[in-house]
Amino acid sequence: MLRFVIRRREKELSYAVSSAVAILVSIILSLLILLFFRINPIMAFVKGFLGPLITLHGWASIFYNGLILLLCGVGLVIAFRAGVWNIGAEGQLLMGAIAATWVAIYLIPDAPPLVLIPAMFALGFVFGGLWGLIAGILKSELNVNEVLSTMMLNYVAYQLVYYLVMGPWANPLTNYPVSKPFPENAWLLRFSGPLPISLPTLIIGILMVIFTHFLLFNTKLGYEIRAVGSNPDAARAYGISQQKVIVISMFLSGGMAGLAGVHAVAGGLLMPQLRRPEQISRGFGFIAILVAWLAGINPIPVIFTSILMGLIFLAGYVIQVLFARGLGVTNVFTGVMLLVLSIADTFRRYRISIEFHGLRRMRAG
């Protein structure tokens, strides 16, 4: 008789080592999958992964992607630590983009950059936070599954952006679904150095990482967030309000994704303006889940995992364009990585044995 026996390890394997191995294995598997589409995996690796690393434009794209993933990822760390599965960073990002557009074009378009840009980020945080708060309230008050509510809110945000760029905010000078361009005093790139990187977003991203680390590990609220996420029954017994933790965590998580939305429309390499939702985010809100997971749901490592996933995202796009196969290469990389990380996390925590007729024949992990 064949059976699998799963036992928890007395000492878990190193998270950093298991994650590094999982990343390497997932990249190799993804490149091998490309063989089925008649893409040379060696050429794909050279062009997609090594190519962007040797050009300034490549690094600019990596950091542009990485900053969005950094802000979304560190926000998801807060939600995941609270035991809330926020799958809505995509929609929260789009709400931040809407807020930035409203401030830059309609609210205070003539304000100086030192007023306009902070206002864009402040309103972006509030709009994203309120979008996350909707799911938080539904979860805390009505026990609505947050996976479903945040996912559905993503589609609502998608349609809202479509409505704006094809309706009241449409640029009258073009038939393409975009808003009017932002005034130059709202462009984030004007604060860049040699690399066209948004300095305001970089500073805000680092501050959010520091803030999140301090919040989670040096404050009463952070202790309550971690307590509710690790053992909600014990937290409730100690008088910690699970409803309060869920609501605050979702607001902060959504707010940070909203900051990423401001960067997505005002800090990119294209003309700053509101565009179709798939051109603003391109799945960043979902990829940020991997960023937070790779970081072990800790804020500091998000700095590195966001840059790594920014490179992987860019590599998928480069391979798709260069080989003209019309396939979502980025989805291949992220899908395989998610699967491999799930397996790696299981082996990190558990020892899996295969027994046959009561005798141990093989041990995995």
Helix (H, G, I), strand (E, B) or coil at 363: strand
Q: Is the pLDDT of residue 58 over 90?
A: no
The set of residues, in sequence order, having a beta carbon less than 8 Å from that of 215 and lying 6+ positions away, is: 78, 221, 222, 225
Residue 184 near residue 190 (C-beta atoms within 8 A): yes
Dihedral of CA atoms 282, 254, 304, 25 in degrees, nearest 10, equals -60
Quick one: the chain helix, strand, coil %, rounded to 5?
70, 5, 25
Q: Is the pLDDT of residue 361 over 70?
A: no
Place of tokens 């040699």: 194
Give percent of the chain above pLDDT 90.
56
Lowest mean pLDDT among 20-24, 108-112, 292-296, 347-351: 347-351
Mean pLDDT, residues 43-68: 89
Which residue pairs, CB below 8 angstroms and at least 24 apart, start in 323-326? 323/37, 323/39, 323/44, 325/37, 325/38, 325/39
Mean pLDDT, residues 48-65: 88
Q: How far apart are CA 155 and CA 109, in angstroms?
A: 29
Q: Is the pLDDT of residue 191 over 60?
A: no
Can you give the pLDDT at residue 95? 98
Residue 172 has a CB neighbour count (10 Å cut-off) of 6
Q: Is the pLDDT of residue 26 over 80?
A: yes
Mean pLDDT, residues 135-147: 95
Name beta bridge partners: 353. Answer: 5, 363
**What are the pLDDT digits (tens) for 60-102?**
889 999 999 999 999 999 999 999 999 999 999 999 999 999 9
Q: Is the pLDDT of residue 351 over 90?
A: no
**Alpha carbon separation from 237 to 240, 241, 264, 272 (Å, rounded):** 7, 10, 43, 50
The reply to whether the predicted model has a pTM over 0.85 is yes
Q: Is the pLDDT of residue 358 over 90?
A: no
Name beta bridge partners: 363. Answer: 353
Q: How far apart are CA 146 and CA 284, in angstroms?
A: 19
**What are the pLDDT digits (tens) for 295-341?**
989 999 999 999 999 998 888 888 888 877 655 666 777 788 888 88
Residue 254 near residue 36 (C-beta atoms within 8 A): no
Where helices occur in 219-358 by DSSP H, the ranges are 220-230, 232-237, 242-266, 277-280, 284-294, 302-323, 329-349
Q: How far apart are CA 215 and CA 160, in angstroms?
A: 33
Place of tokens 């707010």: 255
Q: Residue 267: pLDDT band by 50, 70, 90 thresholds?
A: confident
**Dmax over Cα atoms in the chain, in whole Å?**
79
- Token readout for 335 is 């899908």
364: enclosing H helix or E strand: strand 359-364
The interaxial angle of helices 56-81 and 89-101, nearest 10 deg, is 120
Can you give the pLDDT at residue 328? 66
Residue 239 near residue 72 (C-beta atoms within 8 A): no
**What are the pLDDT digits (tens) for 168-181?**
999 988 888 999 99
Place of tokens 């960067």: 263
Residue 104 near residue 116 (C-beta atoms within 8 A): yes
The set of residues, in sequence order, having a beta carbon less than 8 Å from that of 50 and lying 6+ positions away, is: none
Q: How far apart are CA 336 and CA 350, in angstroms?
A: 21
Mean pLDDT, residues 141-159: 95
- Sequence letter at residue 41: P
Mean pLDDT, residues 198-215: 95
Residue 147 near residue 238 (C-beta atoms within 8 A): no
- Token readout for 124 is 């972006």
Can you give the pLDDT at residue 27? 86
Can you give the pLDDT at residue 86? 96
Q: In whole numbers, what is the pLDDT of the chain averaged over residues?
A: 88
Lowest mean pLDDT among 95-104, 224-233, 278-287: 278-287
- Sequence letter at residue 297: I
